[in-house]
Amino acid sequence: MLIYISICLQSCIRYYIVNDPYKYDHYRPSENELYGLWQSIEDSASIRLNKDGTCEVKNIPTTRGSEEFSTTKYSTLPYIVYGEANKLSSITEWNFHGYWKIESYPARENKEWFRIVMSPHPVFASDIQYYKLSKNDDYKNLKNGFYISINIRNKFENDSVHVAYLYETIGDPDMQDEYVLVPTNY
């Protein structure tokens, strides 16, 4: 058993050294690369990111069942609720017109990574974090709301780093199950 675990661990480490899918994710993309329509490769879901900081989120399922465990549900795009308790657990799809921005978050190797945060209201993760770090209780008085986020996957091509797609890992940390949106024509 110990030998099997050791072989699996070595194989996984070797895979990520040679084929590290996260290698360029700490580069901040230009907002110009993100404008336009992003569509799911699995269903009819889409996100439109506009130049004026507004967005339209359509038909993104809030959860997806695991094929291995049919009763297990994983969040497709994580969400955070602020203000008073919301009843978001009954929502099956994200559908809203709202606001978006690029935000950084800490990740591997003490480097910042980047994600897109979207909300029906112009309140984002960085705003909530600011309120909490400044010991300002105003965030508790915010009207009920939420924000969702999706990670940015970059690639190296033609001597520069570009956005490849938007994604969220679902339930499985070794990249075997991701919710992916790819760019289309604006």
Q: Is the pLDDT of residue 173 over 90?
A: no
Instruction: Give residue-wise pLDDT tens across range 34-77.
Output: 999 999 988 899 999 999 999 999 999 888 765 555 556 667 88
Domain boundaries defined on the chain: 24-183
pLDDT score of 4: 47
Hey, is 85 helix, strand or coil? coil
pTM of this prediction? Answer: 0.77
pLDDT score of 77: 85
Instruction: Give residue-wise pLDDT tens across range 149-163.
Output: 999 999 888 888 889
pLDDT score of 135: 65
Tokens 């490849």, residue located: 164
Confidence of residue 8 (pLDDT cuts 50, 70, 90): very low
> What is d(CA 33, CA 147) in angstroms, rounded to the nearest whole number?
22
Confidence of residue 20 (pLDDT cuts 50, 70, 90): low
CB atoms within 10 A of CB 7: 10
| Residue length of the chain | 186
Return the amino acid letter for 79.
Y
Mean pLDDT, rounded, of the chain: 77
- CB under 8 Å to 80, separation ≥6 — which residues? 125, 128, 146, 147
Provide the 8-state DSSP code for 3.
H
Return the amino acid letter for 167.
Y
Q: How far from the centroid of its chain's Cα atoms is residue 31's Cα?
A: 16
